Amino acid sequence: MSDHHSEVHHHGSEADHAHAASHAKAYLVVGGALLALTGFTVFLSYIDFGSQSRNIIVGMIVATFKASLVAAIFMHLKGEKKTIWQFLIMTTIFAIGLFMLTLLANGDPIPGSTTAIR
């Protein structure tokens, strides 16, 4: 029985190694893409898109793409079931709603406040 147990453990170890190796290339590609996109974000920070609000929007678009890469590859959401995607979509809609509330509040600030983004 001891020999059988060591055989199973050895086979499991090989399967684990093969599984990790199959994902290593994707991890390296995504890591490189994240590094490049971080450099791109720094580059974009030196460009004036006309207003601070537009600069923030451009930065958020790049950040959203980077977050999507992390979620899809590192968090393994790429192969998840339908229910996980439904929760993710609802969370995204909620987050966009919160951003929209911030933009609406900025467009119609409370009289006397100085917190509006220009």
The whole-angstrom separation of Cα 6 and Cα 12 is: 10
In the predicted structure, residue 48 carries a pLDDT above the cut 70: yes
Q: Where do we find the tokens 């229910």?
A: 83
Residues 30 and 68 in one domain: yes
User: In which domain, by residue range, is 26 found?
Assistant: 2-76
Residues 24 and 70 in one domain: yes
Residues 24 and 52 in one domain: yes
Residues 89 and 66 in one domain: no
Residues 68 and 85 in one domain: no
Sign of CA dihedral 99, 104, 107, 109: negative
The whole-angstrom separation of Cα 49 and Cα 67 is: 23
Give pLDDT tens digits for 97-111: 998 888 887 777 677
The whole-angstrom separation of Cα 110 and Cα 106 is: 9
Residues 84 and 71 in one domain: no
In the predicted structure, residue 74 carries a pLDDT above the cut 70: yes
pLDDT bin (cut points 50, 70, 90) of residue 116 is low
Residues 84 and 61 in one domain: no
Question: pTM value?
Answer: 0.56
